[in-house]
A and B are shown apart, each in its own frame.
Chain A
Amino acid sequence: QKEVEQNSGPLSVPEGAIASLNCTYSDRVSQSFFWYRQYSGKSPELIMSIYSNGDKEDGRFTAQLNKASQYVSLLIRDSQPSDSATYLCAVISNTGGFKTIFGAGTRLFVKA
């Protein structure tokens, strides 16, 4: 079982719609969760971090965390073509040091 799992996609949504990206993780004691955006040919860029159960909103982005279900998601409201990228879920596992485990990423296409 992979430690951090994401649907590879591609996820295709029309412009203006809500894009929903999902991630599950296996280490129950994980405490820190991140979403990175990676454009083609570029490096990963941090867009959201979340540490507590519930929702965290930042502009058009909302991160949701449910530790009981070991599930973290990212919602992008009013999706724009410029949101088309690969979104990486990352989890810091507290076991064996503070190592960040990245998911394989979900490719998102926003159609104009």
Chain B
Amino acid sequence: DAGVIQSPRHEVTEMGQEVTLRCKPISGHDYLFWYRQTMMRGLELLIYFNNNVPIDDSGMPEDRFSAKMPNASFSTLKIQPSEPRDSAVYFCASSRTGGGQPQHFGDGTRLSIL
């Protein structure tokens, strides 16, 4: 079975540009999570969806960040406008329904904002 698929793997762009990160969860998983990881702050939950509906976006740092899940097999995380402090590794993860299921992570997108 294919795991969680993220694209792109690496993104380098200039400050002020729009950045879109993409994620395809594991088929049959109805929870999807977006995380950001930095050396200083560790792994931070940004937002998660259940059955394509955003459940908790309290971790989204500010209005420049937005996430959508138009269907069960696709989600995007958008940053507009991007800033150098957004540089991090962004992970998408998915899990099955039912409380207590572990999450499975994609390979991540390494984002560098110049």
Residues of chain A having any CB pair with chain B under 8 Å? 31-32, 34, 42-46, 49, 51, 88, 90, 92, 94, 96-105
- Chain A residues lying within 8 Å of B100, measured Cβ to Cβ, are 31-32, 51, 92, 98
Interface residues of B in 23-55 (CB under 8 A from A): 31, 33, 42-43, 45, 48, 55
- Give the residue among A49, A51, A94, A99 with the most B Cβ atoms within 10 A: A99
Residue of B at shortest CB range from A46? Answer: B102
Number of B residues, CB within 8 Å of A:
19
A104, B100: Cα distance in complex, Å: 20
By the criterion CB–CB under 8 Å, are A46 and B104 in contact? yes
With A45-B105, A98-B99, A98-B100 given, name 14 new contacts (CB 8 A): A31-B99, A32-B99, A32-B102, A43-B106, A44-B105, A46-B104, A49-B102, A51-B100, A88-B43, A92-B100, A94-B99, A97-B56, A99-B48, A101-B45
